[in-house]
Structure 1
Amino acid sequence: MGLFSKIFDANKREVKSLSKLADKIIAKEDEYEKLSDEELKNKTVEFKKTVANLIEKGKSKQEALDSILVDALAAAREGAYRSIGMKPYKVQLMGGMALHRGDIAEMRTGEGKTLTATLPVYLNALTGEGVHVITVNEYLSQRDKEEMTPFYEWMGLTVGLNLSSLGPAEKRRVYACDITYSTNNELGFDYLRDNMVRQVEERVQRPLNYAVIDEVDSVLIDEARTPLIVSGGGQESTSLYGATNAFVRTLRKASKEDGSDGDYTLDIKTKAIQLSEFGIDKAEAYFGIRNLFDLKNVDLLHHINQALRANYTMALDIDYVIEDGQIEIVDPFTGRTMPGRRFSEGLHQAIEAKEGVKVQRENKTMATITFQNYFRMYKKLSGMTGTAKTEEEEFRNIYNMVVTTIPTNRPIARIDAADLVYSSMNSKYRAIIEEVRERHLTGQPILIGTVAIETSELLSSLLYKIGVQHKVLNAKQNESEAEIIKLAGQRGSVTIATNMAGRGTDIKLGEGVRELGGLAVIGTERHESRRIDNQLRGRAGRQGDPGYSRFYLSLEDELMMRFGADRLKKLMEANDDTPLESAMISRSVESAQKRVEGNNFDARKMVLQYDDVLRKQREVMYGERNEILESQKVSHIVEDMIDNAVRKNIEYAASSQYIDEELENKDILKLINDKYFLENPIELTKEIEHSDDEELANIIIERIKSDLAEKRELLTDETFDSFEKYILLNSIDQRWTDHIDQMDQLRRGIFLRSYGQIDPLREYRNEGHMMFENMIDEIEDTVTANLLRIKVERNEEIEMKEDKQVLITNDSKQHIARGPIKSQAREEKKSKQEEKLAKIKELKELKEKRKKLDK
């Protein structure tokens, strides 16, 4: 039996199991209908007590909830009917239970996913640990929350809405609710910001318990390649972006694969772009350097590569738009702009230079996480979508989630016509306009789906020419998108939408439209993802309504150009306007889509593999930081750090293996005094002269403890405890943000190693681990030095002023005042390293002199 058959059989078994459970819930309908409102509402309190008792007796949370599942969902079903007039169908009960199991429920458009989600949300909220309902934008969060709050509140649960505009106090109140509606972006940023606070009370999120993600494919697949980033202003000059932009505009594209007839090569299938040998020579001449690949030219090479991408792979009105002198990214899957989001790694600045708008300074990364690693922190995760089966492997491998296809409440009546392929774009557009004209004359509503903004604007102008009134929905009009989509099913309506902007809003058929054949969906080209095509088709034929869909393709479409247009050209007749319709074409298109999906999956997997290196480090640092935040006293942590710092300093100095122990101890003491005791150094005594490393470490540690005990006495315990906590958090935050930025720099340059037949990921892992170990050493050293250097006088209060730093997320232009987070300049680190090397050199020279004297 093949893998597909096994998966199909597993889905059948799952659906059968869910169907039996749904029948049991429906069988309790009479029992719960007889309850008074008061009795039904009291069921929530009863369920909560049962769950708490079972957990107390050692049952797992899932086991406790499963034991009350049938009764709880029967109560919720009746409660929904009494509060909002909606009673979930059997298929919605099945979908709800799949979500409760931590699966993905694949449900067709119009099957009532919003109501389906209330069932597992209600059930899991009974633990009191919080449930997050996640949508792709704030409009949908607000809409769903407003629609379902009457039900939840009627059943005795609290509901909150998490918006980017809320302050910390409001966010804490929202997260404390039983159920919290939020966007995925806001949840991720709140998590990152929570790990930058200075007081426990400033945190807004509770531990991540259970989440239901609406349009789960959009959140966990489409947005997985863009990490969430909290950043502060960087130091880098923006002038290099202008210079490299001017340079790449002088280059000529090579037509041969080896680049022998041009300055750069571009693979249209993967959009990989790089300088050819000629291009490298030109760059070296243009910038007056001898070797572009020299380590000191890594920054220049990076800027050239980003300028190449900006000029020759990124297109205005497809990948981005210009709004009020700013570059705004267009989401390739929804067609919406993403205000405040910026392309990373300097690509955004390269596009700004290309388009002649003001080049913003590149920000320094201070905290970052991918959606893959954020959502994998939930104890249980589930999601809903109309299109998940094509990405089932990724859901299973990355998130350990199974896709369960839920049957439709009524059979699908939509007609999906075969694709029509034309030899040119012009003939394709003429055919589309003709079909729209014919259908519009009958009054049938039409939805035209486009992949790019420029296509939507071109079709709009063609429709105006033949007098067809219509609405355009693309990244430039997303404020009114829900309203436009709602009206798309009315008689005579014609709507053009880019990449299914308006997803999540139902298109309901107007009066008399069923008789006209329902909504007609016309796709102007195939998207590189089959899932997006299926989403477009799925807008027609909701809840058993009639509908129609057809895709128009041309051999000049990007997907066809990337995969196999040359072979298909031979099949086309000379007549430009004669379409080709064959199973072979459909297979070629699907094959091309599968290859692109495979490439995209690999890219997302690579993002995850690199972030996994950082994830392990992040868990260690955030765990340590949280322990400090939550502890009243941190003296035990400080003592451990002092112990480690002293011993590592001695180990470092002793590693040169000097012959004369007196000389060694004298120099070790000098190193320690220079670091920790500048004003009151430890005297070199006979005892110290003749101590071994262990004895010397103990003498130094005792002196440090003695100095700190004096300071504690002068300040009082409470003040000194606060002071220690402040020093610890400040040192951790400074070094951690530096480390994050350096890891980012390492990741950018690591791919150059592949030219030397070295695995870049392994190198990144190894070097990242060494950098992390060095960072830990630096934190311990800094904490020790800062505690000792502070001057304390009796009856004098220490005023600890926190510098405020502006933090910017890559999702919001909102500025958040946080403090104190101050980056240590890279030059300072470099000078410290040079200082260490100089000391080693000095000690080695002394050693050589001693050898000569002995001789």
Structure 2
Amino acid sequence: MGLFKNIFGPNAYSNRELKRIEPIKNKVLELDEEYQALSDAELKGKTAEFKERLEDGETLDDILPEALATVREAAWRVLEKKPYPVQIIGAIVLHQGRIAEMKTGEGKTLVACVASYLNALSGLGVHVVTVNDYLAKTQAEEMGKVLRWLGLTVGCILHGLTNEQRRAAYNCDVTYATNNELGFDYLRDNMVTHKEDRVQRAPNFAIVDEVDSILIDEARTPLIISGRGDKSTDLYAIVDRFAKTLTATTVVEMDDKVDQDAINDTADYIIDEKAKTATITQRGVKKAEQAFRVENLMDSENMTLLHHINQAIKANGVMKNDIDYVVKDGEIIIVDEFTGRLMMGRRFNDGLHQAIEAKEGVKIKSESKTLATITFQNFFRLYTKLSGMTGTAMTEEDEFKEIYKLDVIAIPTNKPVIRIDHNDQVYTTEKGKYAAIIEKIKECHDKGQPILVGTVSIEKSELLSAMLKRKGIKHEVLNAKQHAKEAEIVAQAGKYGAVTIATNMAGRGTDIMLGGNAEFLARADLRKREIPEEIITEAIGFAD
């Protein structure tokens, strides 16, 4: 049965590929004793030696075993973390331009560091792509210590850097950045007048962390750079007042079974929950013609008015506060549907943002026009070599092959998995489901067992929070509203008796340790003692 599974099972392809990688991994491990015997100066000197060999015509594959053995020993000396054999396999998979599926907690950050070192020796640059600024910063600090110790330069792209700082970071051997920062810098580089004003080099090699989230879930998300368009008019506010007088009916999905005539008689517009659209009915059109004193709303001269009405009914009927956007400091800030994070500086296009501003009664800003745009899918295909890591890639294996020509290799865990993955539980009503969740939380909490609850939206996380408050259970809520505290809250989700409610992507990539994350506990303690933030950063950081 085991043999049959290996040949025809879901991981059959991975198992065959792992057999091919096995001899390369063994070559790396065989060098361990020899490299342990090297002095610090000799180990550091390997970087210059490898670069010289590459200049003399050798390839990265030729120097791979020695380069990986070097960075493996360096990681031990600098961080006291020696990559396990499975992590070496992961690094080889990344170097080959493939996707490594590694279970949560298997040390993907270190795997990326090992693969980065080898590829950075070419001098063409390596981009390690993370899902948020916090991860880019912490990974650049921690893994950067190993890479800098070996004589390489490490940069980190964060929001708010100047062009000079960005250029310096992109010119480093290894650059840590978020997918958004990389994409927007690429767009800005394509808008400059002079070549020397660009900040990026030619895209060479990218290692994408949480690759399924960035290359599949957000693949079609367009990055847009906008410029000021026509001045905003009062029409948004006028149309919003009109939209608020209309009645809506909601359908799960518009199809042939929906009785259009019945709806036209009773509602002014239809909300399609699945497609997230709002469509005005004949009754709504008649009301609009009367309200705005036009003969035929569908005439070409009334297209602007019709467009404003369509956006107003979408803003009022479809777009929900605390799910699609939040109102903060008098501004409408978009909530990313995939990550639950606030997307600062981003705006809905086609006047939808202005329609929401009118709905929420905040200052309506002028419309903007698109100056440059690209999707993540098209952006990441520009790289000469692309690779990625995630805990969940097999489910999207076909898409990765078809769109990016990337194959997925499932890397075995360092130790057998002892966690039990229970079957899903299905409830007939939402009320019953939430009652069961609260009961389970209470049961775990009474034993002191830490529990992390994942939700799909801010609204759901706050509903659960309200129910826990009524039960008197102390808990932390983590959603887009706590964006800055995200990593610190999630890091403590493993403390005795901790109850943490989080949107599905909040804190992704942060280490949760049973008993609590000592580093974050120390940071909180130092803050209580009123020690300045810059000294805390210096004390717990990985600066040289």
Q: Which TM-score band applies after superposition, normalised by the shorter structure?
A: 0.7 to 0.9
Query: Secondary structure, in 3 states, of the residue corresponding to 1:153?
Result: helix
For residue 382 of structure 1, what is the aligned residue in structure 2? Answer: 387
Show the 5 A alignment for 1:235-254: 235-254=230-249
Instruction: Find out whether 1:454 has 2:459 as its counterpart.
Output: yes
Q: How much has 1:95 moved relative to structure 2?
A: 1.0
Q: Give the match for residue 333 of structure 1.
A: 338
RMSD, aligned α-carbons: 2.1
Q: Partner of 2:285 in structure 1?
A: 280
- Which whole-Å CA distance do the structure 1 matches of 2:15 and 2:287 have between them? 62
The structure 2 residue matched to 1:425, chosen from 411, 421, 430, is 430
Match of 1:473 in 2: 478
State the partner residue of 1:839. none
With over 3 angstroms needed to count, the CA separation of the structure-2 counterparts of 1:269 and 1:235, relative to structure 1, is closer
2-structure distance, mates of 1:372, 1:9: 28
Q: Which moved more, 1:369-378 or 1:8-17?
A: 8-17
CA distance in 1, matches of 2:293, 2:31: 82
Shift of the alpha carbon at 1:130?
Answer: 0.8
Unaligned runs of 5+ in 2: 252-257, 517-544
The one-letter amino acid of 2:412's match is P
> Quick one: structure 1 residues 447 and 34, their matched pair in 2 at CA, closer, same or farther if it must change by over 3 Å?
same
Runs of 4+ that moved beyond 6 A: none
Asked if structure 1 preserves the Cα contact closer than 8 Å seen for 2:220 and 2:377, the reply is no
Pick one of 118, 123, 129 that aligns with 1:128.
Answer: 123
Name the CA distance, whole Å, in 2 between partners of 1:294 and 1:388. Answer: 50
Within a 5 Å distance, the mapping from 1:122-161 to structure 2 comes to 122-161=117-156
Query: 2:171 and 2:281 mapped to 1: Cα distance?
Result: 57
Q: Deviations over 1:272-330 (max 9, x none)?
A: 33122333333334333344444443333332222222111111111111111111111
In structure 2, distance between residues paired with 1:180 and 1:441: 45
Residue number in structure 1 paired with 2:75: 80
Matches within 5 A, 1:19-168: 19-54=22-57, 64-168=59-163
Distance in 1, Cα, partners of 2:468 & 2:28: 52
In the alignment, is the contact (CA less than 8 A) between 1:257 and 1:265 conserved in 2?
A: no
Aligned residues: percent identity? Answer: 56
CA distance in 2, matches of 1:300, 1:398: 40
Flag the 1:292–1:105 CA change in 2: closer, same or farther, 3 A. farther
- Alignment partners' CA distance in 2, 1:433 and 1:90: 42
Which deviations, in whole Å up to 9, do the C-alpha atoms of 1:448-507 show, x marking residues without a partner?
112222222222222222222111111111211111111111111111112231111011
- Cα deviation code 1:147-169 (max 9, x no counterpart): 01111011111111122222122
Aligned twin of 1:321? 326
Instruction: Go from structure 1 to structure 2 and tell me whether the alpha carbon gap of 1:457 and 1:394 turns closer, same or farther (over 3 Å shift).
Output: same
Q: Structure 2: which amino acid aligns with 1:301?
A: L
SS of aligned partner of 1:483: helix
Provide closer, same or farther for how the CA distance between residues 257 and 21 of structure 1 changes in structure 2, counting only shifts above 3 A: farther
Number of the residue aligned with 1:15? 18
For the structure 1 residues 448 and 197, does the alpha-carbon distance in structure 2 shift closer, same or farther, using more than 3 Å as the test? same
Q: State whether residues 232 and 365 of structure 2, in contact with CA within 8 Å, keep that contact through their aligned partners in structure 1.
A: no
What is the DSSP-based 3-state SS (H/G/I as helix, E as strand, rest coil) of the residue aligned with 2:57?
Answer: helix
Separation of aligned partners in 1, 2:98 and 2:171: 25
Are 2:270 and 2:280, in contact at CA under 8 Å, matched by a contact in 1? yes
Change (3 A) 1:6 1:48: farther
Shift of 1:236: 4.1
Give the distance between the partners of 1:17 and 1:309, measured in 2 at CA.
54
Cα shift readout 1:101-140 (whole Å, capped 9, x = no counterpart): 1111111111101000012111110110111111111111
Which residue does 1:343 correspond to in 2? 348
Q: For 1:291 and 1:339, how far apart are their aligned partners in 2?
A: 40
Report the counterpart of residue 378 of structure 2 in structure 1: 373
Structure 2 Cα separation of the partners of residues 150 and 355 of structure 1: 47
CA gap 1:438/1:171 in 2 versus in 1, 3 angstroms: same
**Aligned residue in 2 for 1:199:** 194
CA distance in 2, matches of 1:293, 1:41: 73
User: Taking structure 1 as reference, are residues 297 and 217 closer, same or farther at Cα in structure 2, changes over 3 Å only?
Assistant: farther
Q: Which has the higher contact order (CA 8 A, sep 6+)?
A: 2
Instruction: Give, in angstroms, the shift of residue 200 of structure 1.
Output: 2.7
Shift of the alpha carbon at 1:219? 1.9
AA in 2 matched with 1:260: N
Match of 2:332, as an amino acid?
A: I
- Check whether the contact 2:218–2:338 (CA below 8 A) recurs between aligned residues: no
What do residues 795-829 of structure 1 show as CA deviations (whole Å, max 9, x unaligned)?
xxxxxxxxxxxxxxxxxxxxxxxxxxxxxxxxxxx
**Residue equivalent to 1:482:** 487
Give yes or no for contact 1:234–1:364 (8 Å, CA) kept in 2: yes
| Partner in structure 1 of residue 538 of structure 2 | none
Residue identity opposite 1:42 in structure 2: G
Change (3 A) 1:280 1:179: same
Q: Indicate the structure (1 or 2) with the bigger Cα radius of gyration.
A: 1
Separation of aligned partners in 1, 2:435 and 2:345: 38
Describe the superposition over 1:34-55 as per-residue Cα deviations: whole angstroms up to 9, x where unpaired: 2222222221111112222227
Structure-2 change in CA distance of 1:147 and 1:458 (3 Å): same
1:304 equivalent in structure 2: 309
Paired position in structure 2 for 1:503:
508
Aligned length: 501
Are residue 415 (structure 1) and residue 415 (structure 2) matched? no
Greater percentage in helix: 1
Pair 1:155–1:459, CA change in 2 (3 A):
same
Name 2:527's counterpart in structure 1. none
1:359 matched to 2:369? The reply is: no
* Structure 2: distance between partners of 1:114 and 1:315: 36
**Alpha-carbon distance, 1:5 to partner:** 5.4
* 1:30 partner amino acid: E
Kept in 2: contact 1:238–1:360 (CA 8 A): no
| Structure 1 residues 776-787: aligned runs within 5 Å | none
Q: Report the Cα distance in structure 2 between the residues aligned to 1:20 and 1:276, rounded to whole angstroms.
A: 67
The DSSP-based 3-state class of the residue aligned with 1:412 is: coil
Task: Give deviations 1:756-805, integer Å, cap 9, x for gaps.
Answer: xxxxxxxxxxxxxxxxxxxxxxxxxxxxxxxxxxxxxxxxxxxxxxxxxx
Shift of 1:29: 1.2
Distance 2:87 2:9 in 1: 25
1:584-626 CA-to-partner distances (Å, cap 9, x unmatched) read xxxxxxxxxxxxxxxxxxxxxxxxxxxxxxxxxxxxxxxxxxx
1:73-99 Cα deviation digits (max 9, x unpaired):
112111211222111111111111111
Aligned 1:687-706 pairs, distance under 5 A: none
Deviations 1:708-761 (A, max 9, x none): xxxxxxxxxxxxxxxxxxxxxxxxxxxxxxxxxxxxxxxxxxxxxxxxxxxxxx
Tell me the TM-score normalised to structure 2 length.
0.87
CA distance in 2, matches of 1:214, 1:398: 18
Residue by residue over 1:139-189, the C-alpha shift from the partner in whole angstroms, topping out at 9 and shown as x without a partner, is 111100110111101111111112222212222211111111111111112
In 1, the alpha carbon distance for the partners of 2:512 and 2:308 equals 46
